[in-house]
Amino acid sequence: MARIDPPDPIPDLVAMSAPHGGSVPVTIEALAHCEQLLGPFLGWAAVLALEGALDKRHHELLALRTAHNCRSAFEWAEHARFAIEAGLTVEEIIGVAAAAYGGWHRREELLLAAADELHATAMISYPTWTELSEHFTSGELVEAIYVVGQYTMLSMVANVATARDD
């Protein structure tokens, strides 16, 4: 049994959040316990994922690296599917978790480094930020921080919601 079961009944907004008519993500089921946050969060998440400054490939690279860093099997599986839709190959998806993967363009290496630095220190170092600034707009850079922050939060929720008493 999950540590945070879905509420009964599930609010309409939760049911509407199921991607492509599939099942409702466990993170959204958990959020449904706080209905006052549910609508605003779904709006925020939709804008970040669908209308953001970053392209989908870079968004998914950040989401996957964050899920990996947070050890969130749920977020990893969820975003591996989205990453395929965004054009990443299976080799690249596996490479997000592999320290020695060498197939990235420099701008992608920098995004992954930024995600790692944010995870480790809640900061992006000056050298990394300076080089990122050569490849991305200020809007894309700010969004990258928010993407890592959002998936850190969702990884925490997923890790708690899917934990088992073994």
Is 48 a member of any domain? no
Is 101 a member of any domain? yes
Query: What is the CATH number for 128?
Result: 1.20.1290.10
Is 145 a member of any domain? yes
Q: DSSP states of 56-91 as a string?
A: HHHHHHHHHHHHHHTT-HHHHHHHHHHHHHTT--HH
CA distance 80 to 86: 10
Is 10 a member of any domain? no
* 41-56 pLDDT tens trace: 888 998 998 899 999 9
Is 109 a member of any domain? yes
Residue 30 predicted with pLDDT over 70: yes
Is 100 a member of any domain? yes
Length of the chain: 166
Q: In total, how many domains does the chain have?
A: 1
Is 24 a member of any domain? no
Is 153 a member of any domain? yes
CA dihedral 88, 143, 112, 68 (to 10 degrees): -80
pTM: 0.86
CA distance 115 to 2: 28
Q: Which domain holds residue 114?
A: 56-158
* 83-137 pLDDT tens trace: 999 999 999 999 999 877 788 999 999 999 999 999 999 999 999 999 999 999 9
